[in-house]
Structure 1
């Protein structure tokens, strides 16, 4: 175990704890990928990068706000389809990404950049995140929402080191919500409210979960009417989660409600707030989730794979809960959770409660098929 010198205090201790946390994240990554090499966090001014990212998120959010206000005044609403009628890009997507990219390369010319719109123009779908300092950007998550002026859209900015998001910024201007997180420094709403919103104490996961939970999911962009395809598997899973307890051959989850925001980034942010208990989705990309995963991790949540792993156990009790691969396109998120008690002391830790809910969700959902090179 590493300990700081006793003479250290204040900012030195904060910096020590921050580097230690990032190092632990790197070690977990290297366990999953032995080829990973370690970039030294001490070589970076994370205070400067964090402050820059916050201002960049505010400026980019203001661009989205102005574009929406132009729509209020009868401005153009043109969009271009990419892969389907629900996978679209607007000029606002392009303009905001160009602004963010220029600002980053002006300030940090040696950093790498992965943005949704520039990535989408290429033919390869390989996973491009490496160990190098990298910015992963979605200039407008929820583009369909934006075109309809449904306020669930945002800009998502993540800074990654050794393949892990250690700074996450999300700005949802029409909602007046600005989320920020930094490894070792917590997750925040509007820079004043620490997440999750309910903290004294953080509520445990319901013992009947997924019953009494809010379940968030997305229809996604794969709308092909294929027998036993992703769309049909999603619908079956949604119905399982919503059906009364004991229904559908024991798979009924009787969740309190099913929500679909149309933005994976905001789904994760709302899990970090504690507003959503569970988010289950597949088909997203790293720019959709990087900032949100940073936020949820710092709030105390859990992110694993959406697909039930192969096992002979119907309860998945023998399966370790893996961390989600950032580019794996399969995500199951559980909100922050505190310990539960039975009157005689702690019955279940927060992490144990989260893992219990993961296994209960896996029992009720179908595996989805999303693959890509390099993952």
Structure 2
């Protein structure tokens, strides 16, 4: 993709600005969290669609800070944030290809934040031509800053290049998904329906975790199943190489824009969560940002029998063979 609306120097300036903005926003999150230490009562929040889809004053305050900072520096750029979007009636996909757009989740992992579980972060993505080209993720409670810009590498705390194991980058396990850490989320769709997304996810989790040969031949015997409560951090940890596979449905573009930019720059693969009709031979297409369906595979090096990309694609097909199709359709995507 040609970044035809920004010069390389301009993109570098945007990147430097975004990294500092992520640090500043992360400090706001950390200050808000630590201000509760030693106090009493519970964090006040408001429900949106249901009891696990919530917003706090911190979400709103941090988004307002980020939006104001961007407007002052780049008044002609467009802005899409979770809290401003959520207040509208539409659920259409609103990213336009003709305008550089900031895509922001001021607090991903709000439920975690309310419980002071440290897996929460600020996510700042920058989109050009409809594609995420830059991302900054700040997890202040963990003292972790993930960042990437196309052509400039992906980094942890600005000093450690991603993935963390690099010399060489490990290939995908020959028996993948065996030997893999599988990351997933329960999501906010909790409808008690056998054909609903919750049941489809649980069925898929069981397939990935069960012994080889179990579950009608779908058992994947993964090393472990992890759920952080933050899609943004799931992607960051996949870029880091800590997670081998992330499979999820139901996320919005502000949840994943920054993480996709970081993972792709680190050498990871991101495609659709839903198995194509012929999962064994179908072309592995790049993910559509607003699709709400994501399968990510960590950066991988070559083995004696395949390239890193071939190993990633093989792993994606093995995941598709074991998971069920999810339903998160939306207009415009």
TM-score (norm 1): 0.87
Q: Deviations over 1:114-162 (max 9, x none)?
A: 0000000000001011121100000000000000000000000011111
Paired with 2:29 and 2:238, the residues of 1 have a C-alpha distance of 23
Paired with 2:209 and 2:281, the residues of 1 have a C-alpha distance of 26
* Aligned twin of 1:106: 72
Displacement of 1:234: 0.3
Displacement of 1:349: 0.2
- Is the partner of 2:220 in helix, strand or coil? coil
Paired with 1:96 and 1:299, the residues of 2 have a C-alpha distance of 28
Displacement of 1:44: 7.0
Q: Which among 11, 16, 22 is matched to residue 46 of structure 1?
A: 11
* Aligned twin of 2:312: 354
Paired with 2:315 and 2:194, the residues of 1 have a C-alpha distance of 29
Q: Which runs of 5+ in 2 are unaligned?
A: none
Q: Which among 261, 266, 273 is matched to residue 294 of structure 1?
A: 261
Superposed, 1:145-184 pairs within 5 Å as 145-184=112-151
- Is the partner of 2:309 in helix, strand or coil? helix
Displacement of 1:179: 0.4
TM-score (norm 2): 0.98
1:336 aligns with 2:299: yes
* Aligned twin of 1:116: 82
1:64 aligns with 2:29: yes
Paired with 1:238 and 1:221, the residues of 2 have a C-alpha distance of 16
- Is the partner of 1:280 in helix, strand or coil? strand
- Is the partner of 1:290 in helix, strand or coil? helix
Displacement of 1:69: 0.4
* Aligned twin of 1:305: 272
Paired with 2:237 and 2:74, the residues of 1 have a C-alpha distance of 31
Q: Displaced runs of 4+ in structure 1, greater than 3 A?
A: none
* Aligned twin of 1:91: 57
User: Max radius of gyration: which structure?
Assistant: 1
1:326 aligns with 2:281: no
- Is the partner of 2:20 in helix, strand or coil? helix
Paired with 1:206 and 1:44, the residues of 2 have a C-alpha distance of 40
Paired with 1:63 and 1:350, the residues of 2 have a C-alpha distance of 39
Deviating more after overlay: 74-83 vs 104-113: 74-83
1:192 aligns with 2:159: yes
Displacement of 1:43: 8.4
- Is the partner of 1:155 in helix, strand or coil? strand
- Is the partner of 1:45 in helix, strand or coil? helix
Over aligned residue pairs, what C-alpha RMSD do you find? 1.1
1:141 aligns with 2:108: yes
* Aligned twin of 2:326: 368
* Aligned twin of 1:82: 48
